[in-house]
Structure 1
Amino acid sequence: MPSAIVVIDLGSGDAPRALDGDPSTQFDKSVTGTVFSKPPQQTDGRPVMLLRPTESR
């Protein structure tokens, strides 16, 4: 399934997919995120693993 942004209408409960398959919503392995200038980690110190929607462990 291609990536998308899901917009939730809290009033009706509808959750349509926006920009479904648009290049701007696709996974890019070259991008790394930071939180307070550090790589994100779990509460026990292990790194956070980001997976493509079609990947599994």
Structure 2
Amino acid sequence: MDDVHEIDFAPGYQPEAHERFCLDEFELPDWLQDENSLSVPNLLPSINSYLFRAAPDN
């Protein structure tokens, strides 16, 4: 990873292969804190639950 260059996040920018976005002061939502690479396939129900709970009433 020595050849990876961290860059500030810029929406719409496609990083080159050697670039990675850096997000300062970003905190995951509570419902996402305990997730890891093994639990990613199970995230859709959690995401849907969060989105529908957070959505304003129409």
Q: Fold match, TM over 0.5?
A: no
TM-score, structure 2 normalization: 0.23
Higher helix share: 2
Asked which structure has the greater CA Rg, the reply is 2
Identify the structure with bigger relative contact order (alpha carbons < 8 Å, sequence gap 6+): 1
Higher strand share: 2
